[in-house]
Structure formats: C-alpha cells, structure tokens
Structure 1
C-alpha cells in the first residue's frame, strides 16, 4: 500500500518544503517526512496538490504520458463570452505551441471562502467564473490560455486531478489515502507476437486452388498501431 496525501494548497504557498527566501512552504502545513509532490501548483494558485511517499506512484501521477485530466475553476476579468469558451475547447495557440482541446464552461460563482488577501476588484469591470479541464501540465498554462482568449485570470483553484477531488478538504488541510498500484492506467503497448510456425507448417505450401480462396495481399502483422 502507498500513501497519497491530498492537500488543499492556500494562496502564496510554495509547492515544496524549503525556501531560502522565507516564503510559506508545504512544511508550514504538513509535518510528515519522506513525501514528495506529484506535480506542482504555482505559488499564486490554490487547490489540490497530490503528494506521496511512493516514487512509482509519484511518476504515474506526474508523468505527461498519463494525460490525467486536471480540473480548475478560475475567476477571470470581464464577462466571458461563448466565443472565448469555444476557442478554449478547440485549443489555443501559445508561444510554446497549440494546446490540446480543453473542456470549458461558464459556471456560477462557487461556494468557496474568500481568498487571503482578496482578489483585486474594479467596480467598472465585472468578473466571471469558468470551469476548465485540461490534460497537459505546461508552465502557467491555464493563466496563459485565459489571457490568450482575452480574459485574464484573477484567481485559480485546482479542484480535481484524475478521480481525486478537493471536496471536503478545507484550505491548508490534508487528507491521507492508502492506494494500491496501479492507480492510473499506463498507455498500452502492442506486445502480442504472431504465433510461430512449426517446421512442417513453414515448408508446406498453401494451395489456394484446393480451398477456393482468392489471393490477397498479406497484412503486415508486425506493424504497430499509430500512437495518438
């Protein structure tokens, strides 16, 4: 059994246990030793951060190959439009290349505590809330995506990674689970080999005339399926 720690990271806390500049770290909230973050969450972002004492589990969760969906709720500046949401769904062109298509929808303001310090508000400019689900982990990707469609992010909260949720975990609190590997499916490889022919089968020619079959091109059974 491996231990998995579900931590609700507050605003302006580093996703590490030490810092030479005296900023708040995980050590201010978690006293357990020998655990490591599986992925990261930016200093100015909030929400679900997974940690574990199992290196294999850490790799499974953090690896880009697993494409674990990550769910965010973001407060953006302005009244978000359907056109902007559709752009997010199709993929957005960033400086490091286009993003994968995301799931995006406008939501009502979530029932969450006020941030400390609170989000800057301007009376003349409204704000909107968006739920965004992505399967990538680029640096500050969600913020860059929302800015690219014209709606800068003011507050960002990660609520889910795969099937692990932030539900029931208050800001600054941690929930510990025991899990068995594998907890996520690895990409399947085509390892099945064609059956080997016996000596008698290899030497015996096939008579199409006796079977009434028509000659066809032999399929390439060694060709691997194309990866997505």
Structure 2
C-alpha cells in the first residue's frame, strides 16, 4: 500500500530512540521530510544524519518539550525550513510514575503541556496543509489501571481525551487527530530493558501478562503511528489505536 507520504513534511518529538526514532525512520523511509527533537544534542545530530541518508530532508534540534517558548520556536523554524508542516507526532513522555508532587508536575509539563504546546505551535501550518495530521502517543496505562497508575497513566488518558476533542474540532478544517496506545515495548536502553536488569521479578510478571509471550517492538508501534499520520488513513480521526498484543482486556466500542 502506498501511504501517500512522499514529499510531506513531518515533525516528531523525542525522535532519537525507541518509538520516536522508529516513527521518524519509517516516515523518512516512506519519503517524508522529517524534523526531530530530543534533549541531547549529540543524539539529535547522529539521528538526523541517519535520516538524511534515506534521501529526504532531515533536521533536528536539542529541545526540551517542557520549555514552551523553545518548543514553539523550533516548530516555527522547521516550518520555515520545510515550507510548511503536514504531520506532527507528539511522542515525548517524562515516564513519571512516582506519587510525589514533583512527578505530577513533571508529567503535566512534559506529557500533557508538551503535547498541547506542540499542537498549538503547529496549528497555523497544519491549517495550510492539504494533509494535516496529528498523532499523539498515549499508552495502555491510560486505558486501565496498572503499576503506572498515578501521573503517567492519568496524563496518558488525558492525552486521548484531548486528541479526540481536537479531532471533532478540526474535522471541518481537514486536519485529523488520533492517538496510538502502545503496550509494553522493549528496546535496548528503554524502560523495560532497565526493568529487566534492575527488577527482573516485575519484568517477568509484566511479560507473563501478555498472551503473545513477548513485548512489542518500537517498529510495531511506529507502523501504527505512521499509518494514522498518512493520507492512507484519510477518513480515520478521533481514534485511539491500541497496539498491545492483546495485553489489555477492556473492550473498545
């Protein structure tokens, strides 16, 4: 299937590792120009080089999405460089699961406001696009109570609500908005890699919950996100796509 992404202009936050990196690479492989941000400049630089090697325009900057003015400035600069924007993917999470107030504040600033500020900054450019699409990365922790109950799950649920509201509000402008809710996703250097090494009992428990007998991969999550971002999903908006290998058991209607 031709996803229709060639020549479109995409922006991904947290694009140097894990799910964000896989999304950026998949968009580039489909022919989209791609801009990424992350907090570490050296990782941004190396990722941009790898993306550019796929034959598309690639750009990046060290940005903390909790820095509102910095995020907005980066979005505007990418739009100026690319001549507009068609796709924005809000991927960054603080991964805060503590119950202390600092964890709640960090998750609010990064997960929730990072998404809202990205969308607000991109909106003038998405309104000019003929293929405007917003994809926010949520989590199955926003769908049911698990060990990440607290700020992480709460704000992941809020992101779904926010994005579905955007879908309704922006449908008349031809801008689509969807979320992807990954299940447990394993990659080297990721959270589950750290848990496997540091808390093998929790890792074994989590692994046993999935009837597939394994965790997902960043590429499997990216495939879902890139499809929803693409013109091939032109009549899909307001959807939360769960990609979890039947981990969760709640029925979505």
Larger radius of gyration: 1
Same fold (TM over 0.5): no
Structure 1 or 2: more helix by fraction: 2
TM-score with structure 2 setting the length = 0.27
TM-score with structure 1 setting the length = 0.29
Higher relative contact order (CA 8 A, sep 6+): 1
